[in-house]
A and B are shown apart, each in its own frame.
Chain A
Amino acid sequence: MELLRVANLSKIYGQDSTKVVALDNVSFTVARGEFVAIVGASGSGKSTLLHLIGGVDRPTEGTVFLDGQNIYSFNDDQLAIFRRRQVGLIYQFYNLIPILNVTENITLPLDLDNRQADPEKLARLLARLGLTQRQDHLPNELSGGQQQRVSIGRALITEPALLLADEPTGNLDSAASAEILALLRQANRDYQQTIVMITHDLEIAAQADRVIEIEDGHLVGDVQ
């Protein structure tokens, strides 16, 4: 069953001499529970694609449907609420709030929604992420792998329809990378979490159900 539909998506930065076409008329769909990797060289437009799917940027043309809803028909506030409830975002550089501790960073999307985290669920999530002992620490007291696990926790806490990961292992050593990937696969397998992950590492991409390849803003390959 289709969860995500990317329809004729284009994104152009700058004008005239500085004009850069980051994405050019890209379309594809993702089914519920699918684990998709998007691969491409640096500057191919994959991060732009991810940001557009996640509703953190607006396209020049085309649109994105999630659960049949056109997310770019939303205004900025509706879009923020959409991100809060429907999308979990994981960045290469974690993007944690430096002044909030592990638990607070994880429950942030719920807090912004004025919702309470279920304590049992939170404890299970912290255990799954291996952060139980670290829940009161601030981001700068954690290793890179731990910080990335916090950002995964933050992405999963709302049980979003779609988990987006932008080079989640790009800043980590191989052991930490393996850990993070295992966590993502587990979420996909155990909770049927739909995941779209960006990577330039083909080995990591090979662990996904499906690999979409982007080159110069065009979709050039889609392999199950």
Chain B
Amino acid sequence: MTILHKIARRDFKLNRKRSIGTIVGITLSVALIMAVATMLTSLRQTLIQREIDMSGYYHIKLSQVTPQQLKKIRQNRDFKQIKTTSDLGVAAFDHADAAVEQSPLLTLQSLNATKPTASGYHLSSGTWPQTDQEIVISESAMLASGLKIGDQLQLKIGKPTVKKRKLPDSDALIEQATVVKGKNQNFRITGVLNADNYGYQGLTSAAKAKSYTVYLALKDPQHFRRDLPELLGLSNYHQVREGKKARYRYSLNDGLLHWEVLQFSDKTMLMLVTVATIVIAVIMLTSIFCIRNSFAISITEKTKTYGMLASVGATKKQIKRIVLLQSGQLGLIGIPLGLGLGVLASYILGLVVNHIGSQFLFGRANSFQLKFSWIGLLIAVVLGWATIYFSASSSARRASKVSPIAQIRNEQDVKLTSKNLRVPKWIQRVFKSGGVLAYKNLRRSRKKYRTTVISLAVSVFTFIAMSAFVTAAFNFSYQRFHSLDFNLSFSPNYAGMALKSAKTQAQIQAITKLPDTKHVQVMTALADNGNLKLAGVENHLAPGLTARDHRELQLLALDRTAFRKYGRANGLTEQQLASGLILFDNDTQTVNGKQINVHNYRYQAGDLISGSYQDNSSSPHKKYQAKFRLSGVTRKLPDMVSFYWTMPSILIADQQVAQQQLPLVLQSIVMDASKPEDTIREVRKITLQLGSWNLDGQIREEKTMRLLISIFLYGFIIVITLIGITSIFNTITANMALRQREFAVLKSVGMTKKEFDHMVNLETLFYSLKSLVIGVVSGIGVALLIYWGFNRGQAEQVHYQLPWLAIGLAIVFVFLLVFWIMRYSLRKFNRQNIIETIRKENV
């Protein structure tokens, strides 16, 4: 061991307290990086697992693959797993509910694998079919037919035909399709498929077929942009995206690809990258600042040692090496500790997540899966070392730079003139002689003062910026679901629930009368998603707009109660509302870089609006004329409309008024149900044509997610704050320790406890005020930056909120912390013998 190692090691041991303080700082920042990496990796793994459980383990699904093609696919080495089901065709489903205008066809597949879940099939009850005599059918088919597990089912299997023209199997859902030439076959029902709303499905087993559905899992999903075009016989991924004709009919498991390849939309990616960069920069900067301060302060403490080493001939390089060796030792202890702590924290967080309710978040059977991240480990180690190196190198440079004579005299921090030691009168009056000493000391030890102020300011800054980050993150995710007055929404799966039809009317009636529901609202729209073509719009447009772009307007109609409620909420009178049409008109324009709200139309309440509508879904296409007097213009959409539509201008009509002139179809029914699951079941009994959206489940999921994110983010803030506190503690105590001798001298000449207190109070005031000013201002700045990051490329903007609470907390906290640490150091000093302290300095 060279003398440099020896000095570094002994010094480390002798200054144990300071070393531990620095190690704590290093440990915490490495732990933070490690925990963030582990949590992100684990979250990704969990989401991947969730996708696999929900939709099956495959990336690409090929339909109607011939046996020859399948043979070829099996030779392709890009795939890790190839699963197939055989296409048996479609069957006329005689049990289909005659009331439902849905195709009475059932798509039939045969399982070839022992684990059908790999293809995304799940059973809600019963067992999988084992032979070609057994079958499981989808929940909707069960409901429609009233069949039970164990029942026999006869199916006529064949090709779907519409008006004697054969169709591919996948088009089996087309209305009016039938099976003309089919083969009758008997099955025993063994279970219920937990399949979605898309038609009736049946699965049997081990039946022979002429074509297959193939589920392909890629060996290396990262290369899916290369492997997919290869498989499809296209030259590049660009052609895939353009929708060029491919060798196979295919679909992608987007959910899985999302998380495995991190294939998000460019906007989402931009937002994620921006926010992640800002957060990582904050962690790194805080850590570097804080650890750097620990080094800086310990260098100040050891200036004399370095001076002596220099005077006996240690070169700059050697002194620098000692400091770097010391930092290396701290890293050797702190980094592994940090890695361990980070993983431990993630593990505990994982347990908490699973305890609170992973079932809401990650699917029924899924738990949060802790996955160790080697890349995270590597990043944490590299960033940890980088942090230590950057923290120590400036101190090392500083230690090596000052001339030996200055170090021996310990004079490099003290550059005094009597002018800058002049004390303001108010300090003399308020804080007496103790305060005067404190003030002079701050003026004298500028560097040490600055170090402490920077430590504090960085902590304040991080605290405020991170709090803003948390708030922004919450606002971002929850903006959409705030204060909706419904928790269930039903929309038709297929077009064509005409309001005129007696059956639709009866179904709507039945749904609105369901028990345990309130605020039921019905929204209708022009058939075929059509628009109203306005007449004479040219005279009612805002300047600069052309009639060509603004002639057509979406028309939505609300039931009378909902319409009135909406109108009244926007300040319209009953009299105005009687005419039955409100124009929602709220566009945004960027003027001089600022977004402002504008109207596209210059219609006013009382104006006559006339227009035409052509119903393309009827044959022959029927044309309608409509005329309304405008009740008023609003800037806000009803919740149930904004939930589905985000257009700048929409016509909202009273259903009863609009119905007299225009053909309307059901758009959606929303309600506030106290037992959402029960209500969904009841609605399915009334009609299978409506798909449900349970916002309650979604809101519960959001709430759980919110709780978890808060645990994670507040944990993050706490750790960052702790790093700051270690650094503040280190700097202040070291500063006080360096002044021990001075204090002893002051005490020996009769300075009282009260005067010491005044001194400490003033120093607290100075440290706190200065750091708060810097920290709060820069914190607010970065908070703005974070909001900007969240809003990049996003349609829904998060509005900036000044982080008042964080600022208030920071102010109180800083004063208390500084005061406490100063008192702590003073108490420690008070326990020492005066003369011993004075003498000690001479060693």
Residues A92-119 near B (CB distance < 8 A): 93-100, 104, 107-109, 111-114
State A80–B306 Cα separation when bound (angstroms). 13
* Any B CB within 8 A of the CB of A51: yes
CB of B7 within 8 A of CB of A83, answer: no
Given A97-B7, A100-B7, A111-B2: A57 in contact with B405 (beta carbons within 8 A): yes
* Any A CB within 8 A of the CB of B843: yes
Residues A17-73 near B (CB distance < 8 A): 18, 51, 54, 56-58
CB of B14 within 8 A of CB of A99, answer: yes
CB of B309 within 8 A of CB of A97, answer: yes
Given A95-B408, A99-B10: A84 in contact with B843 (beta carbons within 8 A): no
Q: Which of B310-318, B549-557, B702-710, B797-805 is the contact stretch?
A: B310-318
Min CB gap B689→A, angstroms: 84
CB of A83 within 8 A of CB of B316, answer: no
* Interface size counted on chain B using CB atoms at 8 A: 28
Partner of B2, one of A54, A84, A89, A114: A114
State A102–B310 Cα separation when bound (angstroms). 18
State A109–B311 Cα separation when bound (angstroms). 10
Min CB gap B546→A, angstroms: 75
State A81–B313 Cα separation when bound (angstroms). 5
Residues B296-325 near A (CB distance < 8 A): 304-305, 307-318
Partner of A108, one of B10, B312, B316: B312
* Any A CB within 8 A of the CB of B417: yes
What 0/1 pattern do residues 1 to 13 of B give for CB contact below 8 A with A? 0110011001100
State A85–B315 Cα separation when bound (angstroms). 12
Binding site of B, secondary structure by majority: helix, strand, loop or mixed?
helix
State A81–B314 Cα separation when bound (angstroms). 7
Which of chain B's residues have a CB closer than 8 A to the CB of A108?
3, 309, 312
Most chain B CB within 10 A, of A100, A112, A171, is at A112
CB of A80 within 8 A of CB of B7, answer: no
* Any B CB within 8 A of the CB of A139: yes
CB of B313 within 8 A of CB of A80, answer: yes
Which of chain B's residues have a CB closer than 8 A to the CB of A113?
313
Which of chain B's residues have a CB closer than 8 A to the CB of A111?
2-3
* Any B CB within 8 A of the CB of A76: yes
State A154–B3 Cα separation when bound (angstroms). 14
Which of chain B's residues have a CB closer than 8 A to the CB of A186?
none
* Any B CB within 8 A of the CB of A77: yes
State A19–B625 Cα separation when bound (angstroms). 99
* Any B CB within 8 A of the CB of A140: yes
Which of chain B's residues have a CB closer than 8 A to the CB of A51?
405
Partner of A154, one of B14, B312, B317, B417: B312
Given A96-B843, A97-B7: A84 in contact with B403 (beta carbons within 8 A): no
CB of A77 within 8 A of CB of B405, answer: no
Most chain B CB within 10 A, of A76, A80, A84, is at A80
* Any A CB within 8 A of the CB of B842: yes
Which of chain A's residues have a CB closer than 8 A to the CB of B691?
none
CB of A83 within 8 A of CB of B313, answer: yes
Given A97-B305, A100-B7: A89 in contact with B14 (beta carbons within 8 A): no
State A171–B311 Cα separation when bound (angstroms). 20
Most chain A CB within 10 A, of B10, B304, B308, B312, is at B312
CB of A112 within 8 A of CB of B318, answer: yes
State A111–B1 Cα separation when bound (angstroms). 10
State A85–B3 Cα separation when bound (angstroms). 17
What 0/1 pattern do residues 408 to 434 of B give for CB contact below 8 A with A? 100000000100000000000000000
State A38–B284 Cα separation when bound (angstroms). 55
Which of chain A's residues have a CB closer than 8 A to the CB of B14?
98-99
Which of chain A's residues have a CB closer than 8 A to the CB of B310?
56, 80
Residue of B nearest to A54 (CB): B311
Most chain A CB within 10 A, of B6, B304, B310, B311, is at B311
Partner of B316, one of A76, A85, A95, A98: A76
Residue of B nearest to A57 (CB): B405
CB of A77 within 8 A of CB of B403, answer: no
CB of A139 within 8 A of CB of B843, answer: yes
Residue of A nearest to B309 (CB): A97
Residue of A nearest to B406 (CB): A57
Which of chain B's residues have a CB closer than 8 A to the CB of A91?
408
CB of A58 within 8 A of CB of B316, answer: no
Partner of A98, one of B318, B404, B843: B843
Partner of B3, one of A54, A94, A112: A112
State A113–B11 Cα separation when bound (angstroms). 20
State A89–B10 Cα separation when bound (angstroms). 24
Residues A170-222 near B (CB distance < 8 A): 171
Residues B329-349 near A (CB distance < 8 A): none
Given A56-B403, A114-B2: A99 in contact with B7 (beta carbons within 8 A): yes
Which of chain B's residues have a CB closer than 8 A to the CB of A81?
313, 315
Residues B1-41 near A (CB distance < 8 A): 2-3, 6-7, 10-11, 14
Partner of B403, one of A58, A94, A99: A58
CB of A89 within 8 A of CB of B315, answer: no
What 0/1 pattern do residues 638 to 660 of B give for CB contact below 8 A with A? 00000000000000000000000
State A163–B663 Cα separation when bound (angstroms). 111
Residue of B nearest to A78 (CB): B315
CB of A80 within 8 A of CB of B6, answer: no
Residue of B nearest to A139 (CB): B843
Given A76-B316, A80-B315, A99-B14: A112 in contact with B843 (beta carbons within 8 A): no
Min CB gap B3→A, angstroms: 3
Residue of A nearest to B14 (CB): A99
State A203–B842 Cα separation when bound (angstroms). 26
Which of chain B's residues have a CB closer than 8 A to the CB of A83?
311-313, 404
State A185–B305 Cα separation when bound (angstroms). 29
Min CB gap B843→A, angstroms: 5
What 0/1 pattern do residues 385 to 421 of B give for CB contact below 8 A with A? 0000000000000000001110010000000010000
State A171–B842 Cα separation when bound (angstroms). 10
Which of chain B's residues have a CB closer than 8 A to the CB of A76?
315-316
Min CB gap A197→B, angstroms: 17
Residues A138-169 near B (CB distance < 8 A): 139-140, 154
State A168–B404 Cα separation when bound (angstroms). 19
State A51–B309 Cα separation when bound (angstroms). 15
State A93–B408 Cα separation when bound (angstroms). 10
Min CB gap B839→A, angstroms: 10
CB of A56 within 8 A of CB of B405, answer: yes
Given A56-B404, A58-B403, A80-B310: A99 in contact with B316 (beta carbons within 8 A): no
Most chain A CB within 10 A, of B14, B304, B307, B309, is at B309
CB of A84 within 8 A of CB of B313, answer: yes
Partner of B312, one of A57, A89, A140, A171: A89
Min CB gap A14→B, angstroms: 9
State A47–B314 Cα separation when bound (angstroms). 21
| 4 pairs of A and B residues whose beta carbons are closest in the complex | A84-B313, A111-B3, A99-B10, A57-B405
Beyond A18-B417, A112-B315: 19 further Cβ-contacts under 8 Å? Answer: A56-B310, A56-B403, A56-B408, A57-B405, A58-B403, A76-B316, A77-B317, A80-B315, A83-B311, A91-B408, A94-B843, A95-B311, A96-B843, A97-B7, A97-B305, A100-B7, A109-B312, A112-B3, A113-B313
Sampled A-B contacts (17; CB under 8 Å): A51-B405, A56-B403, A57-B405, A77-B317, A80-B313, A80-B314, A81-B313, A83-B311, A95-B311, A96-B843, A97-B308, A98-B14, A99-B10, A104-B3, A107-B3, A111-B2, A140-B843
Interface residues of A (CB under 8 A from B): 18, 51, 54, 56-58, 76-77, 80-85, 89, 91, 93-100, 104, 107-109, 111-114, 139-140, 154, 171
